[in-house]
Structure 1
């Protein structure tokens, strides 16, 4: 019996084809990752035109979030003391970055201004620095999305600062798209409360009035916009910061 010798080029080609088929099968067997974002989309043309000559500017520094959710994977609650890290359900960027970007986009549209964080700005224009510390970022599938954040608005180059707390829970239906949308709505609600505080703080020097947290937000501490007044009463307590 004689055997035909297979040319070496054919053997190499067959091995390469087998490797490609194995890689394709492995890819088919691994579920694809899905990515979510909290950003609401591009600013409207009207908002962009308004922001070309703003009366004041804002700064939105990086946002702090709890370490257990500071990862790209969605972390969902399965019980009061249990969570589940979802490998295939991921944020487009880290949650702190997603929240900061969504806050910046919404605030610049609501206030008709520009976020100048990390960018030089003129001395003659008032600047309000908005710092946010997220203390709870909870995802309950089929129930609700919750954000508990302490935030402050400080008038740069002055002693005026307002510190408040927002606790926002948004009901959600089943599915992870609904959870992401619930968190997006929660960030928008917090943005609305921050925007109201910025407006109040910006108007306070002109009218000589003190400033409190918005009615929908609690205030662990709120300082007066006027240096002559040491403190004001906020929703839940009084305090001052210099």
Structure 2
């Protein structure tokens, strides 16, 4: 039995099968249009913690809605990293550009510069091909060392055209909208006097020239959310 022609035939068939196999496509939320840094950069840093995402989309494959109760997992269309990393990276870049501030999460920084901690919990991250991209997130901004916190919700729905490129671009625009809301919230918290929560930080500290008395905790200021939704109180934790 001659194996030479048979092996050549099998090799050729294998090459044809490899050529015919679908090619994976990878998408990212990074790489949008660069915006100029504000002429008056913020005089503070921010720390953007890892972003929480819904469990059903914590995978590299794109998960698209086919109906309100059904999704499809696309094996050949994937995120370049997990969606939580994609959203955090894009959001950090947006906040840096909009505020002129530096994200110092897990990075040493001067103690003399104020730091605002940002936490984002994405409730919905929906992809409707040819229809819309939805980003529904609850987020908070807290001044480091302070008991004052602003908690808000942003719901961004971006219409998209056909194709997955358009869908990813819709999610990028939704992240931009979320970043704009958080930027406004951070500036709102930063506008408060630095000692707004000092009374709650050290109750019982004697006032200068007076006997020791127990100071009454300062009432948390009411800060309106920059996006739609009910106003949030800056509460003491």
Report the TM-score range of the alignment, normalised by the length of the smaller protein: 0.7 to 0.9
The Cα RMSD (Å) is 2.7
Per the alignment, residue 188 of structure 1 pairs with: 176
Output the CA distance in 2 between the equivalents of 1:116 and 1:179: 30
Distance 1:160 1:83, change over 3 A: same
Output the CA distance in 1 between the equivalents of 2:132 and 2:31: 19
Output the CA distance in 2 between the equivalents of 1:86 and 1:96: 18
Distance 1:56 1:26, change over 3 A: same
Offset of residue 40 of structure 1: 3.6
Deviations 1:21-63 (A, max 9, x none): 344322212111111111144856x539976xx5100111110
Deviations 1:178-226 (A, max 9, x none): 1101110000000000000011111121697742210x23247431xxx
Output the CA distance in 2 between the equivalents of 1:213 and 1:173: 31
Give TM-score scaled by structure 2 length.
0.81
**2:37 paired with 1:47:** yes
Output the CA distance in 2 between the equivalents of 1:217 and 1:27: 51
**2:136 paired with 1:124:** no
Pick which of 193-202 and 24-33 moved more.
24-33
The unaligned stretches of length 5 or more in structure 1 are 1-5, 224-239
**2:30 paired with 1:27:** no
Distance 1:18 1:113, change over 3 A: farther
Output the CA distance in 2 between the equivalents of 1:50 and 1:90: 38
**2:134 paired with 1:146:** yes
Per the alignment, residue 122 of structure 2 pairs with: 134
Per the alignment, residue 75 of structure 1 pairs with: 63
Output the CA distance in 2 between the equivalents of 1:167 and 1:178: 19
Pick which of 24-33 and 105-114 moved more.
24-33
- Within a 5 Å distance, the mapping from 1:84-123 to structure 2 comes to 84-123=72-111
Output the CA distance in 2 between the equivalents of 1:88 and 1:101: 23
Per the alignment, residue 213 of structure 1 pairs with: 225
Output the CA distance in 2 between the equivalents of 1:125 and 1:205: 15
The number of residue pairs the alignment matches comes to 213
Output the CA distance in 1 between the equivalents of 2:40 and 2:23: 41
The structure whose residues are more often helix, as a share, is 1
Contact 1:56–1:113, Cα closer than 8 Å, also in 2: yes
The unaligned stretches of length 5 or more in structure 2 are 197-220
SS in 2 for 1:204: coil
SS in 1 for 2:37: helix
Offset of residue 95 of structure 1: 0.5
